[in-house]
Amino acid sequence: MKAVCWHGANDVRVESVPDPKILNPRDVILKITSTAICGSDLHIYGGYIPTVQPGDIIGHEFMGEVVEVGRGINNLKVGDRVVVPSTIGCGGCYYCQHDMWSLCDNSNPNGWVEEKLFGNITSAIYGYSHAFGGYAGAQAEYVRVPFADVDVVKVPKDIPDEKLLFISDAIPTGYMGAELCDIQPGDTVAVWGCGAVGQFAMISAYMMGAEKVIAIDRFPERLELAKNFAKAEVINYEEVDAGEALREMTGGMGPDACIDAVGLEAHGVGFEDFYDQTKQKLKLETDRPHVLRQMILSCRKGGTLSIMGVYGGFVDKMPFGAAFIKALTFRMGQMHGQKYMHLLLKMILEEKFDPSRVVTHQLPLEQAAHGYDIFQQKKDNCIKVVLKP
Ligand SMILES: [Zn+2]
Ligand SMILES: [Zn+2]
């Protein structure tokens, strides 16, 4: 089959690789019909994620049709159309049983690598390095889906892929980001990053009762989408000081909750940006925590920070004293896709919102390298790329 393989920083290639096979009774093989490039794939593409090896198949946001079923699966059959969450959960461990699927104890066979780095094992993620399980990714014609009896949601056949695909990752990530804010009626929620996850976080925040949502980015086309699709008020941080603007827009208090939909490759302005960029290049810090710093400083006292952008290691110059003095609550983590997938499907079928609005580019799988390039460089007003195997 054809698959997108990583070969080093800013180097992905579509290559011929062996087809996946059923390895365990609870596996299915999926023929992929749509697979997206996620913002966190850009961290791999840029070479920021350790333990990715040349030749690894990447990609973790996908849907498709079941073409082969393991003998331990009773609830799926060949021909079923399904969406699959990015993180792999076994369904049986303490964490899966308590709906914390991305913290699964059993799905990551290379958990010892993580244990050394982080002190604990978390779930595997498709196509996201050997530390996260070494599973083949889903930017491919076919993929093996383990624990498929609990890890997929069946979807109807008469709805286009683009409305359903993001149940795999971007929608539950945004939704969980809003849920972690514990939004009260009348709250103002600020969202850093207006990519797909940010857009879905904004929509979710309104659904959960926020009165005002403020979007922060620097790309006019993304801010435009935040305005028109997510109905947010917007701040372009290259034009105005985001911290000052937030205070002004909230009567001097600051937002009640702040959502980070950016993560470790954040851009800042001025010396702070130069400092982080340089330290990251010299490998003196792994992550650029610009958004985290700004959230701590601009959130209202007693407010909540919800962190959904991916961080991988160590950050520097965190104003932790401010976080303490202001009595902020920090909540974060990889999304628990299996917890949300049925609810999100129901919302989409009820046409509460149209996720396909975030798609700016649909490309054949063969053009994956071009897709990564325009997404990383934000060329051609690129917001979200869907690859079609
Ligand atoms: Zn992702
Ligand atoms: Zn588990």
Question: pLDDT by residue (tens digit) across 131-165?
Answer: 999 999 999 999 999 999 999 999 999 999 999 99
- The C-alpha angle 69, 73, 75, rounded to 5 degrees, equals 105
pLDDT tens digits, one per residue of 337-363: 999 999 999 999 999 999 999 999 999
CA 86–ligand 1 middle distance (angstroms): 7
Once rounded to an integer, what is the mean pLDDT over residues 119-134?
95
> What is residue 338's predicted lDDT score, i.e. its pLDDT?
98
Structure tokens at 212: 């005002």
pLDDT over 70 percentage in the chain: 100
Among the bound ligands, the one closest to the CA of 337: 1
| Adjacent-strand bridge partners of 143 | 30
Minimum mean pLDDT among 29-38, 99-108, 150-159, 258-267: which range?
258-267
Helix (H) or strand (E) holding 222: helix 220-228
Strand ranges (E), the chain: 2-6, 12-16, 28-37, 61-69, 81-84, 87-88, 124-125, 142-145, 153-154, 188-192, 212-217, 233-236, 257-260, 304-307, 329-332, 361-364, 385-388
Helix (H) or strand (E) holding 298: helix 290-298
- Please tell me the number of Cα atoms within 13 Å of 37 on its side-chain side: 29
Q: Which residue has the tokens 């920090």?
A: 330
Among the bound ligands, the one closest to the CA of 147: 2
Backbone angles phi and psi of 121, in degrees to 5: -100, 140
β-strand pairing of 188-192 with 257-260? parallel
Q: 91 burial class (0-12, 13-18, 19+ CB within 10 angstroms)? A: middle
Question: What is the pLDDT confidence band of residue 177, given thresholds at 50, 70 and 90?
Answer: very high
Whether 289 has a pLDDT exceeding 80, the answer reads yes
> What is residue 276's predicted lDDT score, i.e. its pLDDT?
81
CA 136–ligand 1 middle distance (angstroms): 15
Question: What is the pLDDT confidence band of residue 185, given thresholds at 50, 70 and 90?
Answer: very high
Among the bound ligands, the one closest to the CA of 35: 1
Question: What is the pLDDT confidence band of residue 244, given thresholds at 50, 70 and 90?
Answer: very high
CA 104–ligand 2 middle distance (angstroms): 4
> What is residue 287's predicted lDDT score, i.e. its pLDDT?
80
Overall residue count recorded for the chain in this entry: 389
CA 108–ligand 2 middle distance (angstroms): 9
Whether 313 has a pLDDT exceeding 80, the answer reads no
Question: What is the pLDDT confidence band of residue 48, given thresholds at 50, 70 and 90?
Answer: confident
> What is residue 237's predicted lDDT score, i.e. its pLDDT?
94
CA 244–ligand 1 middle distance (angstroms): 31
Q: Computed from CA positions of residues 148, 152, 154, 155, in that sequence, does the dihedral angle turn out positive or negative? A: negative
Q: Which residue has the higher pLDDT, 108 or 114?
A: 108
Once rounded to an integer, what is the mean pLDDT over residues 241-263?
96
Mean pLDDT of the chain: 95
Minimum mean pLDDT among 126-130, 213-217, 284-288, 324-328: which range?
284-288
Report the distance separating Cα 380 and Cα 389, nearest Å.
22
CA 214–ligand 2 middle distance (angstroms): 36
Once rounded to an integer, what is the mean pLDDT over residues 193-217?
97
Report the distance separating Cα 161 and Cα 250, nearest Å.
39
> What is residue 306's predicted lDDT score, i.e. its pLDDT?
98
Whether 286 has a pLDDT exceeding 80, the answer reads no
Among the bound ligands, the one closest to the CA of 146: 2
Pair 216, 197: CB distance under 8 Å: no
pLDDT tens digits, one per residue of 8-26: 999 999 999 999 999 999 9
Question: What is the pLDDT confidence band of residue 175, given thresholds at 50, 70 and 90?
Answer: very high
| Adjacent-strand bridge partners of 233 | 214
> What is residue 212's predicted lDDT score, i.e. its pLDDT?
98
Among the bound ligands, the one closest to the CA of 95: 2
